[in-house]
Structure 1
């Protein structure tokens, strides 16, 4: 009997503005339909200034997907915290959720949720979008890794997001690699000519990555300036 698997994806949706400069939330949801993940970590899910309105309207998510946004309810009309949010399939239970403050130069934050999958497995999930500054990225990664390590003592833990790290194995990646496995899903930025491996999925034991990669389709290359990254995981017996 094989251990059950689940799929997680991370996607910087660029406030639903595509490479054609058109804001099209339905196009983002269609890309998520192509990826077909159980858990989705999003960055830039809210507008950056003003009221920071969500860029994926509730009615579109409800009518056109099988996802439920984790209800962070931090800012009025926002979907997440500093643009970071988590969505899960309707059959996944959201046990806890929280926002985390981290050191920053630009406004940054982290979202986290404790989830129970249909097979009964409980997970801690962290979503993040790190700073453009290498020094601040390092500080942020150190703080997040410590929080995730504490969560890992309670249950299997996954982290995902846009790390803004251009070095393949250096910088902030070293901080996460002290305690976790950092997956190199592939080149995800820029979506029309991928060069940077900016988007990462990170996991702790006993989770095993069955497969992982970048979702590259004609629609995804237009919907945002990033491509989604994904990973399929299992816990071995």
Structure 2
């Protein structure tokens, strides 16, 4: 602290004498007497005068020049001087305000937090369901699409492949089942008409919690008379990436000729996507069991999710006492897509039980 500032400070405290000037006087005399032959007596005199002024010189006299500067004793430091009604700027500088301490500490705390190691991000997951809903008719023969919606919500499905869906038919009171289920689940609905029925339409549908970018419906080339079957294809955007999601319901007759022809068309429809490494999922009612020719042909291009992560037999039909596994979720082993687990919820909302698969997509 400069001598002029100290003198101003002391004088504003109401002291008649300047402590700093007195110290300077003592220091100059101390230097002269320390070099005199009778240095011991000189030091005693200096101490006596210094103590009278409140200057602590113990251990300092006779030391090296760097340590000769006297200092105020603890008994009469600035902090112990009488209180002032109007503190000087010098005193205000000695004690920084609390807000300044906070400002200085915040970057330190933030710096410590920024050095912490972040937890590894969990892989993004989503759930796929396939469900033959039997136009909303349950085992009690009541048409109740609210029960169907309740199953979808309970399982937390993000993509749903629905088979045997009515729109505007007499047996479902001319209602649009896809639109109603979409409203009940908060999802986007897509309906594909495969043939006319009871004054309305009959086919498959997709419900998606993700944005739908494009969709189309392909009719299979049927080899013999019977119900027209189809393949509903949709491109959805899952967290910024495209996913091809396909839904189908193929022929039910004991002879697998029609089913084999249907799966050949599925393979052709997705060949380009699979070849490019795109993420592809095919779900639906395939009306055939594991180990069959239909199952083996699909296995040449896709993986059966239940075979990899399912527990138990995976039977889905009939719903009251399932004895057959005919509902599947297949996926192309590309683009990092992999199943985590699969299960079959118990329900009597339809004559089939649904299959749910949870996928991870890093």
Specify the TM-score bucket, using the shorter chain as the normaliser: 0.7 to 0.9
Q: Kindly tell me: are residues 140 and 54 of structure 1, through their superposed partners in 2, closer, same or farther at Cα, counting changes over 3 Å?
A: farther
Deviations 1:59-106 (A, max 9, x none): 5531x21211026588899xxx852111111xx111110001212243
Deviations 1:8-45 (A, max 9, x none): 00000001011111111111111111121100000001
Q: Which region of structure 1 is more displaced relative to structure 2, 43-52 or 93-102?
A: 43-52
1:38 corresponds to: 158
1:172 corresponds to: 294
TM-score, with structure 1 as normaliser: 0.85
What stretches of structure 2 of length at least 5 have no aligned partner?
1-120
> Which structure's relative contact order is higher, taking Cα pairs within 8 Å and 6+ residues apart?
1
Query: How many matched pairs?
Result: 226
RMSD: 2.8
Moved over 4 A (4+): 47-55, 71-77
In the TM superposition, what are the counterparts of 1:204-215 in structure 2 within 5 Å? Answer: 204-206=332-334, 207-215=337-345
Q: Kindly tell me: are residues 35 and 226 of structure 1, through their superposed partners in 2, closer, same or farther at Cα, counting changes over 3 Å?
A: same
Deviations 1:132-158 (A, max 9, x none): 131100110111122122222342000
TM-score, with structure 2 as normaliser: 0.57
Q: Please state which structure has a larger fraction of its residues in strand.
A: 1
8 Å Cα contact 1:114/1:124 also seen in 2: yes
What stretches of structure 1 of length at least 5 have no aligned partner?
none
8 Å Cα contact 2:281/2:332 also seen in 1: yes
Q: Kindly tell me: are residues 153 and 188 of structure 1, through their superposed partners in 2, closer, same or farther at Cα, counting changes over 3 Å?
A: same
Mapped to 1, the partners of 2:328 and 2:262 lie a distance apart of 15
What secondary structure does 1:46 align onto? strand
In the TM superposition, what are the counterparts of 1:100-179 in structure 2 within 5 Å? Answer: 100-104=218-222, 105=224, 106-117=227-238, 119-133=239-253, 134-154=256-276, 155-165=278-288, 167-179=289-301
